[in-house]
Structure 1
Amino acid sequence: MSEVSINENHLDESPRGIVIMAVVGVAVGILSGLFGIGGGTVIVPALVWLGLTQRHAAATSMMAIVPTAISGVVSYAVEGDVDWAAAALVFCGMFVGGQIGSWLLSKLPELVLRWAFVLFLVFVIVNQAMSNPSRDSQIVMSVGTVIGLIAFGVIAGILAGLLGIGGGAICVPALSIIFGASDLIARGTSLLAMFPNAITTSVANTRRRLVHVKAALIIGIVAALTAPLGTWMAAAVTPRVGAILFTVYLCVLLVRSLWVAIKASRR
């Protein structure tokens, strides 16, 4: 499959489209701080609705995630809710996985990308329902933990590059369920691990002419300004309430993404 030029997209850049992108940025910032995600699960469907293909929306989303994640990390780090060593290990894996995901993004058919997004959401919802979040636990380092964090990072990086997400939607549940992090540390660590990967993946996507830079900057800058509000909200609710809110949010996205994928399959 030949690479597609971004000029073949028809993003709505009218005043209405710009306002929608800004509103998306506000929502993404709050959700990023609240759930420790990059916001790709909101950005990608919104950009597709505004005229980008799934492929270009995913690539543009990754660039928008960079400022969003940086803002969220700062907010969590101020409260001491970041495991720097765990984040570094996850990033090492995500760096490799992100390049693989970016390459797959430029090669796979549009319909495959839509259904991959649906399957990803189902997986995360099931994992989230199984979680029993705590606010006091921490990641205990061992040889097995180090290997596990790197291996998990590769998987998260592939999904991030392929689906245009930061990786937080899979990192946060995994850091809590598999590696024993508290809910806040899982979110802060997830954001720290994802933004370097978002940078490297965005560079690869830009070289493949898959990124709409203007849309990424509008959404990313607005999201960075509102992320601290989401971080404050995360600390204000109990871990269980936060997990329930995250699951509800993902279920809403699943219904919409499933509907879009079914419609695309019928064409």
Structure 2
Amino acid sequence: MFVGLAFFGVLVGFSSGFFGIGGGTILVPALIYLGYDIKMAIGISVMQMIFSSMFGSYVNYKGGVLQLNSGIFLGFGALFGAALSGFIVNALPQIALLIMFAATLLMSIYKFFTAPLIPKSEPNESKFLLFVVGVVIGAIAISTGTGGAIFLTPVLVGFMNWDIKKAVGTTLFFIIFGSISGFVSLASHGLVDYSAGVAVGIGSLIGVYFGVKLSHRVEKKVQKRALLILYVIMFVLTINKILSEMNVL
């Protein structure tokens, strides 16, 4: 089982490094398929994110694609926004949360698709604006069960004129904040299988290294297309989930 979990960690880590995401959308379904309870699967996934996001961010920093100062303000904003997620989840039914996720994802796809590969103006690195962005995305992401990077990259590229490679590198750093906070919370409630988390985490260290390296080498056009494919797949799956929920209602 340890070897199998480590193998999944390699795949998830590679995806995290290349796309700048946490990897939960891949790992959680895989763990459920292996027989883990969904809550325990989320705990293992969050523990894995600490491994992949920290090591991947180090590799990105050495490669010159991590905006460290900007990432810190985004991260602190996410911590504040995540604190609002409890109120949002309690106030809204699941169908409303799914619709909010789908609408935000659709806007992200549009802005990312229409954004030029080469920014036409200087990137906006306002510390206050980055903090606000972190708050909003942190609140939406945690309320809908995602790490937030899938929303953050289109915002940085489409709205704030960031280079796509620096955006991907910074979003992986952004995940560090949420994953540590989430791990502490989940662990305090006994929802983390530490041995499984270590196995997946060790595998993710290998995967994220090669994912980040490939992210640095591929053309921006190729990376943008790969991200768009990922976003469209997630949007289709979300719409399918919404339709299923409506049928239940």
TM range (shorter): 0.7 to 0.9
Q: Which residue of 1 aligns with 2:219?
A: 238
What SS does the aligned partner of 1:166 have?
A: coil
**CA shift for structure 1 position 73:** 0.5
Q: Which residue of 2 aligns with 1:159?
A: 140
Greater shift after overlay, 39-48 or 75-84? Answer: 39-48
Contact 1:55/1:105, CA 8 A, preserved across alignment: no
1:47-101 per-position Cα deviation (integer Å, ceiling 9, x unaligned): 4444566666545433321111112111111111111110111111011112223
Contact 1:69/1:224, CA 8 A, preserved across alignment: no
**CA shift for structure 1 position 205:** 3.1
TM-score (norm 2): 0.82
How much is the aligned-residue C-alpha RMSD, in angstroms? 3.2
Alignment partner of 1:172 is 2:145: no
| Paired amino acid for 1:242 | Q
Contact 2:101/2:140, CA 8 A, preserved across alignment: no
2: distance between equivalents of 1:116 and 1:63? Answer: 26
1: distance between equivalents of 2:90 and 2:39? Answer: 7
What SS does the aligned partner of 1:41 have?
A: helix
Q: Which residue of 1 aligns with 2:116?
A: 132
Alpha-carbon distance change, 183 to 193 in structure 1, aligned in 2, over 3 angstroms:
same
Q: Which residue of 2 aligns with 1:96?
A: 80
**CA shift for structure 1 position 18:** 7.2
Alpha-carbon distance change, 227 to 193 in structure 1, aligned in 2, over 3 angstroms:
same
| Paired amino acid for 1:197 | G
Q: Which residue of 1 aligns with 2:207?
A: 226
Greater shift after overlay, 164-173 or 85-94? Answer: 164-173
Q: Which residue of 2 aligns with 1:149?
A: 130
Percent identity between matched residues is 24
Q: Which residue of 1 aligns with 2:234?
A: 253
1:176-220 per-position Cα deviation (integer Å, ceiling 9, x unaligned): 222222112111211122202210122123334554545443333
What SS does the aligned partner of 1:66 have?
A: helix
Q: Which residue of 2 aligns with 1:42?
A: 26
Paired positions, count: 248
TM-score (norm 1): 0.77
Alpha-carbon distance change, 244 to 119 in structure 1, aligned in 2, over 3 angstroms:
same
What SS does the aligned partner of 1:187 have?
A: helix
Alignment partner of 1:24 is 2:5: no
Contact 2:115/2:158, CA 8 A, preserved across alignment: yes
Which consecutive residues of structure 2, in runs of 5 or more, have no partner in the other structure?
Answer: none
Greater shift after overlay, 172-181 or 215-224? Answer: 215-224
Q: Which residue of 2 aligns with 1:200?
A: 181
Alpha-carbon distance change, 217 to 113 in structure 1, aligned in 2, over 3 angstroms:
farther
Residue from 65, 80, 105 that aligns with 2:64: 80
Greater shift after overlay, 243-252 or 42-51? Answer: 42-51
Which consecutive residues of structure 1, in runs of 5 or more, have no partner in the other structure?
Answer: 1-14
1: distance between equivalents of 2:162 and 2:154? Answer: 9
2: distance between equivalents of 1:166 and 1:158? Answer: 10
Contact 1:55/1:110, CA 8 A, preserved across alignment: no
Alignment partner of 1:190 is 2:174: no
